[in-house]
Chain A
Amino acid sequence: MTTAVAPPDRQPARSRRRLTAYLLLAPAALWLGLFFVVPTVTLVISSLYDPSGSLTDGYVLTWSFSNYTEMIGEYSETLLRSLGYALTATVACLLLGYPLAYAIAFKAGRWKNLMLVAVIAPFFTSFLVRTLSWKLLLGDQGAIVDVLQAVHILGEDGRLLATPFAVITGLTYNFLPFMVLPLYASLEKIDLRLVEAGADLYASPLTAFRKITLPLSMPGLVAGTLLTFIPAAGDYINAELLGNPRTRMIGNEIQDLFAAGAVPEAASLSVTLMALIVILVLFYVRRAGTEELV
């Protein structure tokens, strides 16, 4: 006779506890159900409406899958460009963010908290105001262009603003903390004695990093790249403020289609973006071998 036989009065207590759980859960779950799940379903349905409808006359569900073929045909280049920019920005974030997270975790000493605050602090100023200051920094009269022209990296009338470079710089800048924070959380948990053990076994610092630190930081790396790539792929603020008409991203098109009242077209483009992201993410998570994310 062990604990397997519960005293008779334990049973109602347990079911009461379960009821408590559902009561605690219900309000938030209901909100997310009503304003996240239902809208997502509505978006998919809206993407199959007859495109000849309008906001004032209403729309008819005609299962017009042609919305998808038309939108993908028209915006395939923009879709690919968005994913390309987002991918480049993610790689740039990783190259800048990994050393920063590493330094905060292992090299900062008593400045650790201050450095962490410094990572987040700039992001309390409005996203748009920050992006506008990049417009100034990268502008044709800005110091960066002057220096680059003086050392002949940039030609006489070369410019940075309104180029893909400016858009990617903005994306990298705006999503960098989303890379640094998960990486830091992952790196900070690493037991340094493992690295020391590696060194004792004659691993060079580089080998120790490659075989011990890097694999142990994988969960943070995967989370960081996803948190950077996903919002970057849907962003249109950087493309609009720092780019030119040929650097438009898919977010610009979806926003403009909605603003013009073309709901079915905008919805199908939105669903396409989401589907592409889900496919890429599933593929990536499978390859990176981290399944404890969800």
Chain B
Amino acid sequence: MKAARRWLGKHVVLLFALLVLFYMFLPIFVVILMSFNDPASRLGYDFDGFTLDNWTNVCGPYQLCSSVWVSIRIGFAATALATALGTLMAFAMARHRFRGRSASNLLIFLPMATPEIVLGSSLLALFVNQGFAGRLGFWTIFVAHVMFCLSFVVVTVKARLAGMDPRLEQAAMDLYATESQTFWRVTFPLVFPGILAAALLSFSLSFDDFIITNLNAGQTITFPMFVWGSAQRGVPMQVNVIGTIMFLVAIFIVLGGEFNNRRKAKALAA
């Protein structure tokens, strides 16, 4: 009894943490389960029967796959530009002293500290004032997504740069590497994981954004907007298939990265 009590006392925090993790995964279980649901009615929210139809007929619901395709294109375009611009800025912030550093820091921090509804309405106010109210669509969404992804890219890449040992670059220079050789052979490979992480973060932020997109999308429909629109009429179960696929792809990428790191660490140790 006493031993059990002591064991519990020692592990109570860990047990609680596992419960919280369970809470975080609970909706994912539902999403995966519902992707195999054969609903009795359109508005039904119960698991009525098992079927593979949702998986074989993902594109069945009108506009579902086209909305996913729009989100993917915007995601890639916004990620590419935000990662490029953000990485350059991160280099400036981490490696250079210049006037206006604290202003730049503030410029990066503020968009992250502003609620999405305010960011979205500001952009819409600008577009309306410039006479773009009738031309909202792919490009206005793209502009908005690059804007809110930028800060996250700068912060992520900057953290990676700050954690780098400057002596590695000095060593390269001591060994007569030119500035560009040092950059491409030493600095860039070391920063690359940070850039990759920033790009992944950007893509998932862009793909998942609803509030800012909804204000600035006009007639264009992204995947989250499709889900929102169908929530009123009854959500097609195929939405859960897309959700499951997104989850699996993300897990695959994250675990793949982890596996790669372990392999490299082992290769270095050997």
Write the residues of chain A forming the contact surface with B, with a CB cutoff of 8 angstroms: 17-18, 20-22, 24-25, 27-29, 31-33, 35-40, 42-43, 45-46, 55, 96-97, 99-100, 102-104, 107-108, 113, 115, 117-137, 139, 141, 173, 176-177, 226-227, 230-231, 233-237, 241, 250-251, 254-255, 258, 263, 266-267, 270-271, 273-274, 277, 281, 293-294
B117 touches which of A135, A177, A236 (Cβ 8 Å): A236
| B40 at the binding interface (Cβ < 8 Å) | no
- 7 example contacts (A-B, Cβ-Cβ < 8 A) are as follows A24-B91, A29-B104, A39-B123, A121-B247, A125-B247, A127-B210, A237-B210
B231 touches which of A104, A241, A271 (Cβ 8 Å): A241
Residue of A nearest to B151 (CB): A32
Residue of A nearest to B86 (CB): A28
Q: Which parts of B1-39 form the interface with A (CB within 8 Å)?
A: 11, 13-14, 16-17, 20-21, 23-28, 30-31, 34
- Residue contact B117 to A234, C-beta cutoff 8 Å: yes
From B30, B88, B215, name the one whose CB has the most chain A CB atoms within 10 angstroms: B30
- Residue contact B28 to A107, C-beta cutoff 8 Å: no
- Residue contact B231 to A128, C-beta cutoff 8 Å: yes
The secondary structure that dominates the B interface is helix
- Residue contact A270 to B92, C-beta cutoff 8 Å: no
Further 8 A-B residue pairs, CB within 8 A, beyond A115-B17, A121-B250, A124-B250: A33-B107, A43-B126, A107-B11, A128-B227, A135-B45, A234-B118, A235-B115, A274-B114
> What separation, in Å, do the CA atoms of A21 and B95 have in the docked complex?
8
From A27, A122, A126, name the one whose CB has the most chain B CB atoms within 10 angstroms: A126
- Residue contact B128 to A274, C-beta cutoff 8 Å: no
> What separation, in Å, do the CA atoms of A43 and B215 have in the docked complex?
14
- Residue contact A118 to B21, C-beta cutoff 8 Å: yes
Min distance, Cβ A164 to any Cβ of chain B, angstroms: 19
- Residue contact B129 to A136, C-beta cutoff 8 Å: no
- Residue contact B89 to A124, C-beta cutoff 8 Å: no
Min distance, Cβ A89 to any Cβ of chain B, angstroms: 14
Residue of A nearest to B11 (CB): A107
| B199 at the binding interface (Cβ < 8 Å) | no
With contacts A31-B147, A241-B231 known, is A21 near B92, CB below 8 A?
A: yes
How many residues from B make CB contacts under 8 Å with A? 87
- Residue contact A108 to B14, C-beta cutoff 8 Å: yes
- Residue contact A235 to B227, C-beta cutoff 8 Å: no
- Residue contact A237 to B122, C-beta cutoff 8 Å: no
- Residue contact A236 to B211, C-beta cutoff 8 Å: yes
- Residue contact A25 to B88, C-beta cutoff 8 Å: yes
B105: which A residues are within 8 A, CB to CB? 294
| B242 at the binding interface (Cβ < 8 Å) | yes
Residue of A nearest to B224 (CB): A128
A258: which B residues are within 8 A, CB to CB? 121, 124, 215
Min distance, Cβ B136 to any Cβ of chain A, angstroms: 11
- Residue contact A28 to B150, C-beta cutoff 8 Å: yes
Min distance, Cβ A54 to any Cβ of chain B, angstroms: 11
- Residue contact B210 to A128, C-beta cutoff 8 Å: yes
- Residue contact A103 to B115, C-beta cutoff 8 Å: no
| B52 at the binding interface (Cβ < 8 Å) | no
Min distance, Cβ B14 to any Cβ of chain A, angstroms: 5
B95: which A residues are within 8 A, CB to CB? 21
Per-position binary interface string of chain B over residues 56-88, scored 1 when its CB falls under 8 Å from any chain A CB and 0 otherwise: 000000000000000000000000000001101
- Residue contact A274 to B118, C-beta cutoff 8 Å: yes
- Residue contact A31 to B146, C-beta cutoff 8 Å: yes
> What separation, in Å, do the CA atoms of A68 and B64 have in the docked complex?
40
| B269 at the binding interface (Cβ < 8 Å) | no
B11: which A residues are within 8 A, CB to CB? 107
- Residue contact B26 to A234, C-beta cutoff 8 Å: no
Min distance, Cβ B138 to any Cβ of chain A, angstroms: 15
- Residue contact A117 to B25, C-beta cutoff 8 Å: no
> What separation, in Å, do the CA atoms of A226 and B208 have in the docked complex?
21
- Residue contact A32 to B107, C-beta cutoff 8 Å: yes
Per-position binary interface string of chain B over residues 108-126, scored 1 when its CB falls under 8 Å from any chain A CB and 0 otherwise: 1111111111110111111
B210: which A residues are within 8 A, CB to CB? 127-128, 237
